[in-house]
Amino acid sequence: MQSNARTTTKAGDALWYKDAILYQLHVKAFADSNNDGIGDFAGLTDRLDYVQELGVTTLWLQPFYPSPGRDDGYDIADYRRINPDFGTMRDFRRFITEAKRRGLQVIIELVVNHTSDQHSWFKRARRSKPHTDARNWYVWSDTDQRYLGTRIIFNDTEKSNWAWDPVAGAYYWHRFFSHQPDLNYDNPRVLWAMVQVMRRWLDMGVDGFRLDAIPYLCEREGTNNENLPETHAVIKKMRAALDASSPGRVLLAEANQSFPAIANGRCSCATTTSSRSKWSPTSSGIICGRPTLPTRARGSTSASAAGSRR
């Protein structure tokens, strides 16, 4: 399976993303094969000819993982499986096979900054003793007064970036909804686990990842906790891991940060904007597979970002 997937990717065309025409979709909302009211992979597969006729070269799938559905699937409860409402792993493999048969690339969404509070990693962490490895998969504190220089992104619903967990007896950090605890990228096991998740999907034939909420990976006191050098270091490690095992795959990042911060060479992946921070000249729309940024691909990514939920 692994070798087939890799040989059917445009492995010899490392710059395939430069002139890619992306079509972003939610599997659940695209095509329903069994008339249960929920789109699914079988339905999407049946309509690949239509997608191809549009001139699309790359599909960008929004999250399709098991999820309690409190943030449209961006609250992932299991990175390694398919939401059963959307089909089975067999359906996913058939979708990849049929996409490859038509020469279509597939990028899947991966939310790496945080998980659902229903993820087994968080369930384990909150039950573990303070300062143990299992607890430290997330960002904990005895007080909600750390990182006070950090803005609240979802300020229409959240009053703090900290939430009290009665199970752990501590506060946990969340840049988004309080049911989405931030993973702790100061714990190398977290990065290792996420790279394993990436490899799982790469081995199944996907051509890259759209990395949600990528500016917020690391936290440091006295900063705004966005776009930190430590976060770029993590992304570069992700990029290096992909290059080592799966050359030619792309990272496409939601990076709603100012362009100079990205253009100074700290970016290790492509960027798209957030719908919560409208597209502007200071927002970059760059897609790249390498740390060195190309310039000619900006238009294609800005177009792909136009329909982004985030």
Question: Applying CB under 5 A, which residues contact Ca ion?
Answer: 32, 34, 36, 38, 40, 113, 182, 216
Contacts of 168 (CB under 8 A, 6+ apart): 125, 126, 127, 130, 135, 140
Round the CA-based radius of gyration of the chain to a whole number and report it: 19
Q: Look up residue 41 and give its two tokens.
A: 């992979």
Specify the residue, 191 or 293, whose C-beta has the smaller distance to Ca ion: 191
Specify the residue, 84 or 281, whose C-beta has the smaller distance to Ca ion: 84
Contacts of 23 (CB under 8 A, 6+ apart): 51, 54, 56, 58, 59, 60, 304
Residue 227, by phi and psi: left (phi above 0), alpha (psi -120 to 50) or beta? left
Specify the residue, 93 or 290, whose C-beta has the smaller distance to Ca ion: 93
The least CB distance from residue 11 to Ca ion, in Å, is 33
Residues classed as catalytic: 212, 254
Distance CA 130, CA 138 (A): 11
Closest residue to Ca ion, Cβ-based?
182
Specify the residue, 17 or 185, whose C-beta has the smaller distance to Ca ion: 185
Residue 115: is it exposed, middle or buried by C-beta count within 10 angstroms (0-12/13-18/19+)? buried
Distance CA 155, CA 114 (A): 17
| Strand order from edge to edge, sheet including 250-254 | 22-25, 58-61, 105-111, 208-212, 250-254, 270-272
The least CB distance from residue 36 to Ca ion, in Å, is 4
Specify the residue, 38 or 261, whose C-beta has the smaller distance to Ca ion: 38
Q: Look up residue 231 and give its two tokens.
A: 């976060």
The maximal CA–CA distance of the chain, rounded, in angstroms, is 56
Cα–Cα nearest to 46, from 63, 61, 31:
31
